[in-house]
Structure 1
Amino acid sequence: MGLIGILAGLALLVWFAYRGWSVLLLAPIAALVAAGFAGEPLLAHWTETFMNSAARFVAQFFPLFLLGALFGKLMEDSGAVSTIARWMTRTLGPKRAILSVALAGAAVTYGGVSLFVAIFVLAPMATALFREAGIPRRLMPGAIAVGAFTFTMSAMPGTPAIPNAIPMPFFGTTPFAAPGLGIIASTIMLGFGLWWMQRAEALARAAGEGFGDDAPAPVDAAADDPLIRERASVAREFDPAEMHRSQATETEMPVLLAALPLVVVVGVNLLMSMLVLPNMDAAFLAEPRWGGTSLGAVAGVWSVAVALFVAICVLLAVSFWRLPSLRATMDAGANASVLPIFSVASLVGFGAVVAAMPAFEAVRDWVLGIGGGPLVSLASAVTILAALTGSASGGLTIALDALGPTYMALAAQIGLDPGLMHRVSVISAGTLDALPHNGAVVTLFAVCGSTHKESYLDIVMTTIVSALLALVVVIVLGSVVGSF
């Protein structure tokens, strides 16, 4: 009955989340369903297991959600994101519209700008560029996804994306874990995605297909849609409802100033990870007043948090006078982080209750028994959970909460580099999370004025297939030559 309860809880969570119900309600209900089938004490699991696990996630990662959302909102309202996108599109021109949109998305998201901010800024520009180039509107989501949905979230070393931060406390790694393998994976994702989209453009031109519907991108309607908001809340660290709670500047920044905060994020992250924190005397962290933790458990989060904080300070220093209302922008950025962090934390709480069920031992044994070695079983567990939850962050955290210590013990026995497990798990989280119910996918289609029927195949190829190809290569190389 316990296993039936786990499956019933998962089914309830997936079905109602797909229909737009709030995860804040669904996750505890689904957890109680799983506990009820197993005959476990319901209130104890809700207040002790569920809430304690959710609270730990908030305590660990809220600084990154808060600073990431705030940085994204400041980059949007200061005009920095639109400046970079316009510069990229002007430089490459309409003849390279797909490439320019993809690279613009990659530049801003790798620099720490939230995916949803990038989507809402890039879509109107992509509309104008695709219209001028005569490329079908239906190809816009795929072009944006190539750069913004894939390697800058999961593979590129040093990316400040939340999924890249989640394995760090479990494995004692940094944002630059397995950098060589990450660069190879990034090259595969970007190369395959661009090849697919350019192939799609060529086929459309050969068929005489033009831009199509000349209506503007429905950005405003998408930002205010409550269904989109609920689905988006578990996808990334930004609440789309806050897009219109402040006003963006109408003046364009110098492109070098616009890009400076992005460079600062990457540079400070690298400096903190490779130089500052490794040489820091952090023995005090073992004291009870600091939770008896270690530098390895917090260093990764610290490095990303400091990088985002310094970048925010730099951005304010070079552009605060451009903001129509600094207070409104700061408030909107801070508020944009609240619903996502609690939504993902609720998924984590659900996962903790499931992992506490006696029947979960059978699930764990099945996962560990998957052929191909620990990297394959780890990738399988993360991929499945990310697909079921529609969230890379939620699926990854649930998997590592339940299985992380087991894999660390196994890694110590066989000499497996935790950095390799970090990179494999993050890339895995970015594969099947992009199923049709994923909040980022739903938001992207709404903002671009497209539909699943028209554009989802491109999402499958540019995000799911490209990530799976990269994952296979990383696992094979990691198994043969180790981490590098």
Structure 2
Amino acid sequence: MELAGILIGLALLVWLAYRGWSVLLLAPAAAMLAAALSGEPMLAHWTQTFMQNAARFVAQFFPLFLLGALFGKLMEDSGAVRSIAAFLTDKLGARRAMFAVVLGGTLVTYGGVSLFVAFFVLAPMAHALFREANIPVRLMPAAIALGTSTFTMSAMPGTPAIQNAIPMPFFGTTPFAAPGLGLMASAIMLGTGLWWLSWREAQARHAGHGYAEQEVWDKAPDPTVVRERASVAREFDPAEIEQGHRNDVLPGIVTAALPLLVVIAGNFVMNVIVFPRLDASFLAQPEWGGITLQSVAGVWGVCVALASAILVLVALQWRRLPALRKTMDAGANASVLPIMCTASLVGYGGVIAALPGFEVVRDWVLSIDGGPLVSLALSANLLAAITGSASGGLTIALDALGPAYVSLAAQHGIDPALMHRVAVIASGTLDSLPHNGAVVTLLAVCGSTHRESYLDIVMTSIVSALIALVAVIVVGSLLGTF
């Protein structure tokens, strides 16, 4: 009955989440139902297990959600993201429309701009390019997804995405874990995705299909329509997109791009140069929790990088931010719902992991043929698919099984950096199923539908990532981490 309680609670969570119910309500309800069916005390699990796990996630990662959302909103309202998009449109033009859209998404998300901010800025750029190049709108969501939601989220060394930060406290790693393997995975995802999009574009041209054939989007949809589903997908609440004050006078490309470079450079300097030379022995004292620098260095590095970029952006763009307080308020507010929704999923996972029936699940996962890397990849994949959230699924997997994977890595001589990279790439594969909030939002913003565009999203976001994941596991197992 214990295992049945887990499965029934999970089915309730997935079904109602797909129908648009808030995870803030669903996660505790599903957890309490699973606890009740397992004969466990519900109220004790709600306050002592669910809330303790949710609160720990907030304590660990709220600074990243806050700074990431704030940086994204400042980049949007200052016109910096639109300036970068306009520059790429001008330089690459319609002849390279598909590549321009992918490159635009890559630059802004690897530079720390929130996913949903990128969606709402890149869609107008993509429409202009696709119209001039006469490319069907149905290919647009996949092109944007390839640049924003694949290798810059999970594979590129140093990416400030929250998914890349989650494994760091578990494995004692940095955002630059397994850089060579990350670059290899990025090349595979990018190459596979571009090949597919080029082939689909050629197919459309051969069939005589073009931009004008479809009813296309003329203005951004109401962000609140997809708000609840989107809130667990990444770190920005889409409802805050329209808040603040957007400047229509665009800055120069150097001024616009500089904060992105600060994020990348600051992250590298802190994690590769500063922290290895820092005496942080004081962290072992009880008042600091008796922790090690390795358990917090990765989060600290990204926080310093994002905070530095925010200061540089405000210093350079303050004239273009006449409503600075409103913009910063909107950015801060945009971080609250996503972290609370993700934390609720983490609390749900904590309750499930504490139930007697979970021992069966844990033993099955850890006994999967192929070793710890395959087992870790499958568990992160499965949980990300179920929750529709790479960050939520990855945190649940590592909260429940992280210590076991650390022990297995030591037994098998596996570098924790390799475990980190496999876990992050795995979380960014099946999270892009139809109920994923980012997918729902992207289709709405582009003016397309699942029927028209989802196959291409599968190929660019799921299949390409799965190929890269297999390659990383095989190469990492044979050659080790590099």
> Smaller-chain TM-score range?
over 0.9
Question: Is 1:167 aligned with 2:170?
Answer: no
Question: Is 1:57 aligned with 2:57?
Answer: yes
TM-score calculated relative to the size of structure 2: 0.99
Q: In structure 1, what is the equivalent of residue 295 of structure 2? A: 297
Match of 1:273 among 271, 281, 297: 271
Paired residue type of 2:16:
F
CA distance, structure 1, for counterparts of residue 407 and residue 323 of structure 2: 51
Paired residue type of 1:151:
F
Matched ranges for 1:63-462 at <5 A: 63-212=63-212, 217=217, 219-225=219-225, 228-462=226-460
CA spacing shift, 1:116–1:472, aligned 2, 3 Å = same
Paired residue type of 1:183:
L
- Is the contact between residue 218 and residue 446 of structure 1 (CA under 8 Å) also seen in structure 2? no
- Is the contact between residue 379 and residue 397 of structure 2 (CA under 8 Å) also seen in structure 1? yes
Paired residue type of 2:10:
L
- Is the contact between residue 35 and residue 41 of structure 1 (CA under 8 Å) also seen in structure 2? yes
Paired residue type of 1:177:
A
Paired residue type of 2:452:
E
Map Cα deviations across residues 194-245 of structure 1 (whole Å, 9 max, x no partner): 11011111000000111035766355324132xx100001000000000011
Paired residue type of 1:136:
P
CA distance, structure 2, for counterparts of residue 97 and residue 483 of structure 1: 36
Paired residue type of 1:385:
L
Map Cα deviations across residues 259-307 of structure 1 (whole Å, 9 max, x no partner): 1000000001000001111111111111111111110110000000000
- Is the contact between residue 239 and residue 336 of structure 1 (CA under 8 Å) also seen in structure 2? yes
CA spacing shift, 1:295–1:219, aligned 2, 3 Å = farther
Paired residue type of 2:256:
A
Q: In structure 1, what is the equivalent of residue 473 of structure 2? A: 475
**Segment drifting more, 54-63 vs 82-91:** 82-91
Paired residue type of 1:335:
N
Any stretches of 5+ residues in structure 1 without a counterpart? none
Q: Per-residue deviation at 1:89?
A: 1.4
Paired residue type of 1:123:
A
Q: Per-residue deviation at 1:190?
A: 0.5
Instruction: Show structure 1 runs of 4+ deviating over 4 A.
Output: 213-216
Partner of 2:212, secondary structure, is coil
Partner of 1:224, secondary structure, is helix
Partner of 1:370, secondary structure, is coil
CA distance, structure 2, for counterparts of residue 217 and residue 82 of structure 1: 18
Q: Per-residue deviation at 1:412?
A: 1.4
Question: Is 1:463 aligned with 2:458?
Answer: no
CA distance, structure 2, for counterparts of residue 449 and residue 82 of structure 1: 19
Matched ranges for 1:6-85 at <5 A: 6-85=6-85
How many residue pairs match? The answer is 482
CA distance, structure 2, for counterparts of residue 217 and residue 346 of structure 1: 34
Any stretches of 5+ residues in structure 2 without a counterpart? none
CA distance, structure 2, for counterparts of residue 80 and residue 483 of structure 1: 37
Partner of 1:446, secondary structure, is helix
Q: Per-residue deviation at 1:413?
A: 1.6
Map Cα deviations across residues 128-163 of structure 1 (whole Å, 9 max, x no partner): 110111000111101101111100000000000000
Paired residue type of 1:453:
R
- Is the contact between residue 222 and residue 447 of structure 1 (CA under 8 Å) also seen in structure 2? no
- Is the contact between residue 186 and residue 468 of structure 2 (CA under 8 Å) also seen in structure 1? yes
Q: Per-residue deviation at 1:21?
A: 0.3
Partner of 1:235, secondary structure, is coil
TM-score calculated relative to the size of structure 1: 0.99
Q: CA RMSD in A?
A: 0.9
- Is the contact between residue 38 and residue 357 of structure 1 (CA under 8 Å) also seen in structure 2? yes
Paired residue type of 1:460:
V
- Is the contact between residue 57 and residue 345 of structure 1 (CA under 8 Å) also seen in structure 2? yes
CA distance, structure 2, for counterparts of residue 456 and residue 59 of structure 1: 36
Map Cα deviations across residues 5-45 of structure 1 (whole Å, 9 max, x no partner): 11111101100001000000000000001101110010000
- Is the contact between residue 174 and residue 299 of structure 1 (CA under 8 Å) also seen in structure 2? yes
- Is the contact between residue 139 and residue 197 of structure 2 (CA under 8 Å) also seen in structure 1? yes
